[in-house]
Amino acid sequence: MPHGRAIWVCFMIIGLLKYIGTTPVEKQTQGGSKSKQEEKPGPDLRSLHFPAEYHATGVLSLPTSNINEPFEVWHSQAYDKSRIDYYHGEVKTFQRGDLGRNGMFFKIIPKFSYKRHRNDRHFLGCWKRYGSKSRKAKAQSVLPCNTAWPFKSRLEDFKYEGDAVINGTKCTKWSYNVTIFERNNSYLFYATKTDPPKPVYFEMNGYDTLLVSYYDKYTIHYHSFEEWDYDPDDDPDVFEIPHLHHDKWCWNIDKRSRDSDGASMSLNPMGEFAMLHHVEDPVDKDFHNFRKKHKRDYKDKLEHQQRKHIFRHNLRYIRSMNMKGNSYHLTVNHFADLTNEEFDNHKGLMPGDGGYGSRDFDDAYDDQVYDDDAVERREKIKKKKSRYGHVPVELDWRKYGAVLPPKGQGTCGSCWAFAAAGAVEGANYIQTGKLIDVSEQQLLDCTWATPGATHGNNGCLGGWTWKAFSWIKKFGIATADSYGAYRGQEGYCKTEGLKVGARIHSYRRVKRYNKEALKKALAYHGPATISINANPKTLKFYSRGVLDDITCNNKTDHAVLLVGYGTENGVPYWLIKNSWSHNWGDNGFIKIRHGLCGVEKRPFVVLNKGQRPLPWKLEEKANKEKETLLKKKLREQMMANAAKYNTKDDYKIVRKDAIEDPDFRDIEDDEYLDDVDLW
């Protein structure tokens, strides 16, 4: 399981809130008069005094992703505790700096199992992770304050800009502009003119590294903000972590972590500082362009240098590989400054088959039902003639309209959901002629229990495509519009008011490491889910061409969608759709040479039971008819030309050897027959 995925998945939105502070100002007692507060405030934000213990609600908006997340916050600086709920309590997060040596993070998530009693199908799960010396768990504030992340700001940096009216409320306006590594970041903060003041609106135009540059702007609308006196003796305690016996008292995410290579941390960052003081670093321009294109900003110079170290090594690798004359080309993309463990957050395939049996796709007969007599029937099946005919020389389901544009899974390990949804979309198109966008979020929320399996999928911690198929076979899958937008984290499984976008009859695993069986499955049943090895840097920075890196072995950890195959410059390849957005690879796609990266290791296909003719067969038929018509027209034209010049001389015969010999090419039969001495 990828290292560190869950901690960032669990607290990805919390990280956004860190832009506006991690340590609140000191608690103030109510005092002063309203008339005093109506006076012009001081020159900077230090003149406003917010309580250190408070309860607040609001909406966190990320306009570039069309995400609006309602939140509720309880915060106590004195006890180093905070709790932030999202989506009206569907997801609960706890930041407990008072627990353990370096604090602890907790996340309570909704789960769903159709196998449980009807009144108990929705239940809760728990994740936890321990803080570390470098990343301690502390109480999380939602207010501007000193030492804010991602840069070390101060309250005096926010300057008073006058008064403004926000939604009918008279407010003080504060602004802050800062250039970090030649990049401008602007902040606007509004608070009521009351004593004590209340936050109203916060806006940032800047850049985020935690979510890998998906967002470049966010806003917080505070709906309510009240001073709150926290008493740890209260029952129930708002900061108490629910004890879920069925979840083995919270799943420790640390146990699923894998070690990072630590390459950037093992280098001496001071060497970078020294070099920059004396001579221009040759990688500076490339790194600057990278940060500008992918909207990167770092919290301080140390992180800047560490990220540049990672970028430098990746850039050297990319340029070195591109000089080798490979059949593929690499390029710098949005992964170029990530550590290995951060990159792992963009995968999500669970190891192994997840308990899948031996129900493989069989090109002789794929409707087989397996029971105690399976072995005997399988022997009979081998004698049956395959119901599949030939396959096209090349196939690309995109050109037939069966594939939607690539999407981005973010830092949630949900690749399995995107691959499964893509296969269902393709199968549904083949059967109905309609390409319907179905909901990956529903698979993330609802497949914690699946038919035919002891355990289901694990949300953002990973899953298996066949378990998603098993669930879809029983319940169908909703359209993306009716279920709601993809959120990048688990949510409450919706079961009412949904429009079913697609249903499937069945699914099968294709014969392992069998290229011909995989081609037949792809041609006759549509796009298939596969697992690949996403670890090689050649794949990480792929841009175009056919990837033929022989170091890309069959140790798979990432689910993707196989949409075609073909040959390029004599190299046979598989055409694959990824879930790393259109910014990666060749507009979100990649070509991988046969036999590499585990493509043939674990394919699954949704069976096509429709009666509609396959589009590639229709294309072949149309091409054949076009060729026949062309030949017919050519014959008619030749006959017309022959009829036009139909004279006696036109039928003179020329000897073959005379044609081949330039000295006799004009001698005709009646001429050389009269001159026997010529030969």
Gyration radius of the chain over CA positions: 33
pTM above 0.75, yes or no: no
> Which 3 state secondary structure label does DSSP give 494?
coil
Burial of 581 from C-beta contacts in 10 A (0-12 / 13-18 / 19+): buried
Residue 557 pLDDT > 50, yes or no? yes
State the pLDDT at residue 409. Answer: 85
Closest CA to 382 of 368, 402, 403: 368
Full DSSP string of 58-105: EEEEEGGGTEEEEEEEEEETTTTEEEEEETTTTEEEEEETTSTTT-EE
Is the CB of residue 354 less than 8 Å from the CB of residue 465? Answer: no
Three-class SS of 639-666: HHHHHHCCCHHHHCCCCHHHHHCCCCCC
Of 120-129, 295-304, 462-471, 664-673, give the lowest mean pLDDT range. Answer: 664-673
Q: Which residues are the active-site residues? A: 415, 558, 578
Q: Mean pLDDT lowest for which of 42-56, 318-332, 365-379, 545-559?
A: 365-379
428 pLDDT tier (thresholds 50, 70, 90): very high
Highest mean pLDDT among 103-112, 215-224, 455-464, 498-507: 498-507
Amino acid 220 reads I
Predicted confidence at residue 204, as pLDDT, reads 78
Instruction: Assess whether pLDDT exceeds 70 at residue 664.
Output: no
Residue 558 token pair? 């990432």
Task: Look at residue 212 and tell me whether its pLDDT is greater than 90.
Answer: no
Any idea what DSSP says for residue 115?
A: T
Q: Which residue has the higher pLDDT, 310 or 216?
A: 310
The packing angle between helices 415-432 and 465-475, to 10°, is: 50
DSSP designation for 211: T
* The one-letter amino acid at 234: D
CA distance 561 to 592: 12
- As separate numbers, helices (DSSP H) first and strands (DSSP E) second, the chain gives 18, 24
Residue 586 has pLDDT above 70, yes or no: yes
Q: For residues 601-609, give the mean pLDDT.
A: 91
Q: What mean pLDDT is reported for the chain? A: 76
- Tens digit of pLDDT for each residue in 366-407? 433 334 455 565 555 555 555 678 999 999 999 999 999 999
The whole-number average pLDDT for the span 549-572 is 93
Q: What is the pLDDT of residue 339?
A: 79
Which of the four pLDDT bands, split at 50, 70 and 90, describes residue 27? Answer: very low
Contact present, 604 and 508 (Cβ < 8 Å): yes
**Left, alpha or beta for 642 (phi > 0: left; psi -120 to 50: alpha)?**
alpha
Residues with Cβ within 8 Å of residue 87, at least 6 apart in sequence: 69, 70, 487, 491, 492
What per-residue confidence (pLDDT) applies to 353?
63
Q: Given this model, what pLDDT does residue 368 score?
A: 38
pLDDT at site 385: 53
pLDDT of residue 150: 38
| Nearest-angstrom CA–CA distance, 191 and 174 | 8
Q: Which of 44-58, 91-105, 370-384, 429-443 has the lowest mean pLDDT?
A: 370-384
64 neighbors 182 (Cβ within 8 angstroms): no
pLDDT at 320: 52
Which of the pair, 109 or 384, is modelled with greater confidence?
109
Q: Is the pLDDT of residue 35 over 60?
A: no
Rounded to the nearest 5 percent, the helix, strand and coil shares of the chain are 30, 25, 45
Task: Point out the least confidently predicted range of 72-86, 352-366, 393-407.
Answer: 352-366
Q: Is 445:463 a contact under the CB 8 Å cutoff? A: no
**Closest CA relative to residue 535, chosen from 343, 338, 313:** 343
